[in-house]
Structure formats: structure tokens, C-alpha cells
């Protein structure tokens, strides 16, 4: 709190403000203009001003004039403290660093005092009061900045605890996005993974606007025109991609018209690696230009990518272990099947049955081409196994077929996202009807 201001000086200052408020306002406006001119000479601050644009800078100037005039009011300490702290939080949102603020306040104080000195020539104590208020204002703005940074650190700690918990990746991702969205200035977030390095499979989206946007645009990961944006570039390079101004950056060209009505100005796209390989991308959006360039946010983003990759990798490793255990149990049971079965057909049928019952597979079947080259089912079990023999898949057809490829190459063939593989579009409807997503076909040799 600032020290009590003498009654005589309060009355004198009130009288000055009442009689010459227009002169005070003009002097403060001139000081603000001088300050912005000087700030533009510093490269790191000039970048911030350019990102904000003329319209937003004009609003900031008006707010600074209003705030500077309020510094001369002697009886509003509580309001003054809250106002200064909120200004500090706004600085933090725009990526202003504490050392920049300190240096900038020194520049502004010099300009302001030079222009207001004529009003205080007969009352030096008023000049001292203004100096005190400027110093207190700076301290409280710094408190506001630190409060904003501390809140972001707390959010990151909560995300860390979430990602190392026993929750599944699906649960973790949903909660993580919710916690990220509690960061002031963040206006949208989505995360998607890819099985083929081309198409994105949406995992989580926050916000109706972003959901609407993603439903109307195409985003790819390959070298096609729709793969040259931040998502595709982040996936292929493994680097975090920052867009400081979505409305001017060439990388956002294919999607700019679609985003204009939402008002997003900055974006960061983060590749998530699992076992050193790209697995997913996270995209964050803000309506504040350059929002993601603040060092504390860059640290949060890098940390988030690492922790999410570790969490997903840990869960995938557990899934692999569970699958191996299931297959191991299935193979142990296979010996019993071979001993008890009375025919080859029974061996195949019970093997398929056991694979479905004892492992993570929904359907298992054995097929072989007949004398006309048409694949026929010898045995099957699980969802949809009864219709597989009637598909009419030909060994000598030109149509893409994993069955044909496996038979001819005598090697394992698989697709982890069959329904998004355009080469097998003819079977997509069947796969969707049976709720099959991935396929593995194994050659059996006599």
C-alpha cells in the first residue's frame, strides 16, 4: 500500500485535476506517443507491436492514457492495486517479459515526468507522489505477471499428475485438453493421431467453433497441398511449429478464409513422439497474436509434448504386453486343441474360436483359394465370420487385396487403419458394418 497522502496535497491535486484535466490528458497522451515511438526502437518490442496491429495498439494507447490519469488520483488504493495487477496479467497474455516491462516503465516514466513537471513546479511533493505511484504501479503489474505465470505452472503440474496416472490415454487426453483450456488466452485445442502418416484420426477437440472448423476443412500430413500447413510440417519435421499471426503467415493460406470468422490470430502445433516416432499432433489456438512465443509457454509446450509421448508410450507398451500374454495363452491352448481334435477342419475351427475368445481379436478365419482362384472360408469364428466366404475375392483379380498379397508373397500383411486406406475402399463398407478397424493376414504353410 502507498503511504497516506497529506490532506493539503490531496486538495491541491484535486484542484489541479479539476481545473486543468484537459491539459493533463493532453500531456499524458503526448507521453504515451513518445513512449511507443521509443519502444519501437527495440527489436523484441517492435515485433510485439507489429503482431498486435495498429487497431489493437491504438486501444492500448487509449487504455494507458486512462490508467496514467488514474495514477494522479490519491484515494483509490484498492482499485489501483487491482487495476495494476490486471494490467500485469494482460502483459503476460501478450508475451511481455518482466525485464521488458521494467525497461519500458523507465522510458515511460521519463517521458511522463518531463511533460507533467510544469504542472508541479510550485508543488514538488506532487512530483514525488507521482514517482511513488509509478513505482507502486510497476511492482503490482509485476505481481500480476507472476500470478499469471504461476497459474500456468500449476496447470502444467496438474497435467503432469494426470499423464502419469493410471488413466487410459483416451481419458488422459480429454482431461488434459480441458486443463489446457483453463489457461487464459487459449481459445481452442485439438489432438489427433495417425496410423498411416497421411490422415489424421481426431481424438479430442475443445470448443464448438473449433469442432465446426475441423468438420469443414482438410488437414493432411503428407506432401500434398493440404499437408503443407503447421500439422503436416510438424509431423514430418518433428519440430514444434509456431504461427504468430494466422492472418498473414503463408503456411496458413489454405485455411485462412475458413478461420477468419473465428478470430484466431496465433497457433502452435506440437508433434507427439512415441518411441522416437511421430504418433500424434496437438494444435492450440489463440486470438492474441504471438501468444505462444512467451518463454514460459514455450517451456510448457515442449514439456507437454514430452510427457504426453511418455504417457502414450507407456500405455502402448502395456497393451503389447497384454497382447503377448493373450497370444501366449492361446498358443499354450493350441497344443491341447491339436491333441484332442479329430480332423483338420476341427483344428482350424477351434483355433479360430480360441483366438477370438482368448485374445483381443474380434474375428478370426482361415481361407484358401479354390481351383477357380476364389478364396473360400475353411473355418471362422467371431463377428461377421459367416459372411467372409461369400465375398468373392479372386486370387488373380487386379483389385487390391490383402488376401491375394499374403498368398502370393507368403508374408504377413496388416493394416492398422484399414478403413482409411483408399486402396481398399471397396471393402470399407463391410469393415464399418462389422466395426473392424485393423486387419492382419498370416500365411499358413504345410
Q: Is the dihedral of CA 89, 294, 149, 203 positive or negative?
A: positive
Q: How far apart are CA 352 and CA 365, in angstroms?
A: 6
Asked whether residue 2 carries a pLDDT value surpassing 50, the answer given is no
pTM greater than 0.85 (yes/no): no
Asked whether residue 114 carries a pLDDT value surpassing 80, the answer given is yes
Query: Comparing C-alpha atoms, which of 308, 315, 299 is closest to residue 278?
Result: 308
In the DSSP assignment, the letter for residue 377 is E
Q: What is the pLDDT of residues 343-362, one digit of tens each?
A: 777 777 777 787 787 666 78
How would DSSP label each residue in 249-280?
Answer: -GGGGGGHHHHGGGT--EEEEEEEEETTEEEE
Q: What is the pLDDT of residue 128?
A: 80
Asked whether residue 1 carries a pLDDT value surpassing 50, the answer given is no
What is the arithmetic mean of pLDDT over 115-125?
80
- Bigger pLDDT: 106 or 48? 106
- Return the minimum-mean-pLDDT range out of 12-16, 83-87, 126-130: 12-16
Confidence of residue 338 (pLDDT cuts 50, 70, 90): low
Query: Comparing C-alpha atoms, which of 256, 199, 250 is closest to residue 222?
Result: 199
Q: How far apart are CA 90 and CA 67, in angstroms?
A: 14
Asked whether residue 23 carries a pLDDT value surpassing 80, the answer given is yes
Q: How far apart are CA 159 and CA 178, in angstroms?
A: 10
Q: What is the pLDDT of residues 187-226, one digit of tens each?
A: 989 999 888 889 998 888 887 889 999 999 999 999 999 9
Identify the CATH homologous superfamily for domain 7-149: Globins (1.10.490.10)
Q: How far apart are CA 297 and CA 153, in angstroms?
A: 9
Q: What is the pLDDT of residues 31-84, one digit of tens each?
A: 999 988 888 888 878 887 887 778 888 888 898 888 888 887 765 667 788 888
pLDDT averaged over every residue in the chain: 82
Count the Cβ atoms, other than its own, within 10 Å of residue 285: 27
CATH class of 164-310: alpha beta
Across 283-287, 331-335, 336-340, the highest mean pLDDT is recorded for 283-287
Q: What is the pLDDT of residue 229?
A: 94
Q: Is the dihedral of CA 262, 267, 86, 62 positive or negative?
A: negative
Q: What is the pLDDT of residues 133-167, one digit of tens each?
A: 888 889 999 998 888 888 888 888 887 787 777 77
Q: How far apart are CA 91 and CA 105, in angstroms?
A: 12
Beta strand 413-415 with 375-382: parallel, antiparallel or unpaired? unpaired
Asked whether residue 5 carries a pLDDT value surpassing 80, the answer given is no
Residue pair 166/187 in contact (Cβ under 8 Å)? The answer is no
Q: What percent of the chain has pLDDT over 70?
A: 88
Task: Give the C-alpha distances (Å, rounded to integers) separating 204 from 77, 251, 254, 281, 287.
Answer: 45, 23, 23, 11, 20
Q: What is the pLDDT of residue 269?
A: 93
Q: How far apart are CA 277 and CA 197, in angstroms?
A: 11
C-alpha 54: how far from its chain's center?
28
Q: What is the pLDDT of residue 266?
A: 92
Please state the domain extents for the chain. Answer: 7-149, 164-310, 363-441
Q: Retrieve residue 236's grid coordinates.
A: 514430418
- Bigger pLDDT: 200 or 127? 200
- Bigger pLDDT: 226 or 98? 226
- Bigger pLDDT: 362 or 238? 238
How buried is residue 177: exposed, middle or buried, by Cβ count under 10 Å (0-12/13-18/19+)?
A: buried
Q: How far apart are CA 144 and CA 119, in angstroms?
A: 31
Q: Please, which residues have CB within 8 angstroms of residue 328's CB and are 6 or more apart in sequence?
A: none
What is the arithmetic mean of pLDDT over 277-303?
87
Amino acid at each position: 500500500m502507498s503511504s497516506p497522502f497529506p490532506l493539503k496535497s490531496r486538495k491541491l491535486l484535486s484542484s489541479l485535476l479539476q481545473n486543468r484535466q484537459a491539459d493533463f490528458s493532453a500531456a499524458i497522451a503526448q507521453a504515451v506517443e513518445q513512449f511507443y515511438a521509443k519502444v519501437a526502437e527495440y527489436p523484441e518490442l517492435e515485433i510485439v507491436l507489429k503482431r498486435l496491429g495498429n487497431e489493437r495498439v491504438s486501444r492500448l494507447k487509449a487504455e494507458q492514457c486512462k490508467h496514467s490519469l488514474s495514477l494522479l488520483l490519491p484515494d483509490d488504493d484498492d482499485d489501483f492495486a487491482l487495476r495494476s495487477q490486471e494490467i500485469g496479467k494482460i502483459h503476460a497474455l501478450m508475451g511481455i517479459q518482466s525485464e521488458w516491462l521494467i525497461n519500458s516503465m523507465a522510458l515511460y516514466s521519463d517521458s511522463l515526468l518531463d511533460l507533467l513537471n510544469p504542472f508541479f513546479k510550485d508543488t514538488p511533493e506532487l512530483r514525488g507522489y507521482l514517482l511513488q505511484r509509478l513505482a507502486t504501479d510497476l511492482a503490482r503489474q509485476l505481481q500480476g505477471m507472476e500470478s499469471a505465470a504461476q497459474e500456468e505452472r500449476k496447470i502444467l503440474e496438474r497435467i503432469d499428475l494426470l499423464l502419469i496416472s493410471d488413466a487410459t490415454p483416451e481419458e488422459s487426453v480429454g482431461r488434459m485438453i480441458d486443463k489446457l483450456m483453463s489457461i487464459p488466452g487459449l481459445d481452442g485445442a485439438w489432438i489427433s493421431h495417425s496410423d498411416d502418416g497421411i490422415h489424421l484420426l481426431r481424438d479430442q477437440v475443445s470448443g464448438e467453433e473449433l469442432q465446426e472448423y475441423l468438420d469443414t476443412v482438410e488437414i493432411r500430413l503428407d506432401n500434398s497441398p493440404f499437408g503443407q500447413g503447421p500439422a503436416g510440417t510438424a509431423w514430418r519435421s518433428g519440430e514444434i511449429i509456431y504461427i504468430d499471426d494466422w492472418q498473414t503467415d503463408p503456411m496458413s493460406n489454405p485455411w485462412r478464409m475458413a478461420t477468419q470468422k473465428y478470430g484466431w490470430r496465433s497457433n502452435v502445433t506440437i508433434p507427439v513422439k512415441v518411441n522416437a516416432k511421430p504418433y500424434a499432433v496437438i494444435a492450440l489456438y489463440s486470438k492474441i497474436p504471438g501468444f505462444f512465443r512467451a518463454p514460459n509457454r514455450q517451456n510448457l509446450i515442449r514439456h507437454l509434448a514430452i510427457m504426453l509421448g511418455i504417457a502414450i508410450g507407456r500405455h502402448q507398451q502395456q497393451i503389447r504386453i497384454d497382447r503377448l500374454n493373450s497370444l501366449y495363452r492361446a498358443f499354450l491352448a493350441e497344443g491341447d486343441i491339436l491333441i484332442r481334435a479329430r480332423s483338420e477342419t476341427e483344428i482350424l475351427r477351434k483355433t479360430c474360436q480360441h483366438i477370438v475368445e482368448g485374445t483381443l481379436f474380434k474375428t478370426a478365419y482361415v481361407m484358401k483359394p479354390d481351383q477357380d482362384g476364389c478364396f473360400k472360408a475353411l473355418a471362422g469364428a467371431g463377428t461377421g465370420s459367416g459372411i467372409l466366404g461369400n465375398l468373392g475375392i479372386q486370387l488373380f483379380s487386379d483389385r487390391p487385396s490383402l488376401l491375394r498379397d499374403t498368398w502370393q508373397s507368403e508374408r504377413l500383411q496388416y493394416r492398422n487403419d484399414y478403413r482409411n486406406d483408399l486402396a481398399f475402399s471397396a471393402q470399407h463398407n463391410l469393415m464399418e458394418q462389422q466395426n473392424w478397424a485393423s486387419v492382419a493376414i498370416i500365411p499358413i504353410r504345410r
